[in-house]
Every structure is written in C-alpha cells, then in structure tokens.
Chains A and B, each alone.
Chain A
C-alpha cells in the first residue's frame, strides 16, 4: 500500500543551489501534480502531467521544471533555489474515473532555502 511516495522528507538548500524532489506512485495513475503549501495558505498548483511525456503549467510554475518519462515518476526540479521557494511540497496522483479527480497525496517534502 505505498500509494504516493515523496523523497526526501526534509531538505535545506542554500540560495542558488539546485535539487530534484522525487515523486513516485504505484497506482498506475495517469494524472500527477505538484503543489506547494505555504503557512496559512491552501495548496497552489505548480505543474501537472496527464500522462508520460505530457506536462503543463499550473498556477505558480516559475522557478520549477518537471518531466514525465514514465507513468510512475514525476520529479520536480528547482534550478536555482531562492528563499521564496521555502515551502512544503506535495505530489499527488489521480486516475480521474468518470471525471471525478480524487487526488491521492504524498506526505510532503519540507524545503528550506537559506
């Protein structure tokens, strides 16, 4: 019962460093998404994918890149980390049966950029 797995759980970066947040799901879901959650705010969509090889931007895509080479994996890349990217990042997947998009979320990655 793995579901959606995110790694790492915690990360501290210095300004300008790059890193990749990993996300993997074992439910054969076509849809995967990345969100960020800032204190006192709801989740905001960064990027999403509707299948392998297909990605699109969400509400706050600047500073982030994604790719989807397999159905299972959807990594999020920070090219040059900035303090404004300090946040909790959640990955989600869904199969959208009949148009109902019940998203299953990972436990999150807590990122601090100094």
Chain B
C-alpha cells in the first residue's frame, strides 16, 4: 500500500508561535490529502484538505502546503494555542474515496 509518514513524531512550541507539521507521501498518484487533529480520547477531527491541483489552501489559522515535486505536504498553524495540543495526522487518497492511508501522526505540545 501507499506510504504516508511524518518527519517529526513530537513537536513542542510556545503559545503564540507558529507551528509547522510535515508529512511525506510516496504515491505520486495521490490526488487528495486531508489533515486531521486527534485530541486525547477522541476520534480524529477534520482540519483542512487539499487537492493535487492546488499548492496551497488556507483555513482559519491553518494553511496546508503541497509540494508534488518532492511529495511533501505541511500543515501550518498560526498563533498556536493550548487548545491546539493534539496529535495531527495527514491522510492521502488516490482515487478510491474510501481508501485513505494515514501517517503515524505528530504530537503537538503547546507550552504556555
């Protein structure tokens, strides 16, 4: 199956700073990507998605960047808050809408 992985398993940032979480994928046919946030004891929650025909997509305080040349995407969180502390997953899809492949996750710790 496809391989989706994250560069950093744990990221610690100071409250108010910007956070960048990275994700690499191996399937060049992947055309749809989603970032999820998972708080302790809860199911994953959708944050933002991006299609392969885009390089950048912005949401509220979050931006996803996609670099298809090196098969890499990143999630940027502006002005990180304590409520952003969670595990973040990227997931990719290559045509079959229900076959998503998830990375192992990055834990974000926000220090007050």
- Spell out A's residues near B (CB within 8 Å): 4, 31, 33, 35, 40-45, 48, 50, 56, 58-59, 90, 92, 94, 96, 99-108
Contact = CB atoms under 8 A, between A and B. Distances in A.
Contacts, number: 70
Contacts of B41: 107-108
A56 B99 CA distance: 10
B59 interface: no
Interface residues of B, number: 23
B102 A101 contact: no
B67 interface: no
A107 to B, nearest CB: 5
Contacts of B1: 59
A106 B41 CA distance: 11
**Which 4 pairs between the two chains have the least Cβ-Cβ distance?**
A42-B102, A105-B43, A48-B98, A43-B102
Contacts of A101: 32, 34, 93, 97-98, 100
Given A48-B99, A59-B101, A92-B43, 16 more contacts: A4-B43, A31-B97, A31-B98, A41-B105, A45-B98, A45-B99, A45-B100, A56-B98, A59-B99, A99-B97, A102-B49, A103-B34, A105-B44, A105-B45, A106-B43, A107-B42
